[in-house]
Amino acid sequence: MKTLLLQIFTWWNGQTMGTRFHTWRHGTRVGDDELGNIYYEGGSDSEGRTRRWVIYNGPAEASAIPAGWHGWMHHRTDVAPSAETYVAKPWELAHRKNYTGTAQAYRPKGSILNQGARPHVTGDYDAWTPKS
């Protein structure tokens, strides 16, 4: 019951009621990933392509889509990773949670939230001033 109420009143927890209805009416399950996200396709988008969508396992976070599924979702390939023996390239990194807005977020040197000092200006940059 709690899950159903979350889906009715929030868009970031799993799927909305509109997505649930669209999935039931038009969706064909294509596969799932190691994070528990489920991928569907069905119907057509405004450009005539087959519509593809994901139902997240947990909060909706776009960075939680693995590289292989990302390519399929954005029509870079017509073959879903579940339909082939997809192997990640050596340069593809595993998913890392998005830490924006948390204490673990990236804070470069010079950031007001970073304890370190701002790097010294080397002199190869002159700030713009009017009428210069």
Burial (CB < 10 A; 0-12, 13-18, 19+), residue 72, is buried
pLDDT at 2: 60
Q: How far is CA 11 from the centre of its chain?
A: 15
Mean pLDDT of 87-99: 80
Q: Which tokens hold the place of 44?
A: 């057509």
- Measured distance between the N- and C-terminal CA atoms of the chain, rounded to whole angstroms: 66
pLDDT at 83: 85
pLDDT, one tens digit per residue, over 113-132 is 877 766 676 777 777 888 86
State the pLDDT confidence band at 67, using cuts at 50, 70 and 90: confident
The residue that leads in pLDDT, 37 or 119, is 37
- Could you give the number of structural domains in the chain? 1
- Which one-letter amino acid corresponds to residue 29? R
Whether the pLDDT of residue 108 is over 70: the answer is yes
Angle at 57 between CA 51 and CA 62, to 5 degrees: 55
Percent of residues, the chain, with pLDDT higher than 90: 2
Type and span of the H or E element at 64: none
DSSP assignment of 69-129, as one string?
Answer: HHHHHTTS-SS-GGGTT----TTPPPP----TTSTTS---TT-TT-SSPPPPP-SS-----
Mean pLDDT of 48-73: 85
Boundaries of domain holding 116? 1-132
Mean pLDDT of 23-35: 81
Angle at 32 between CA 68 and CA 93, to 5 degrees: 35
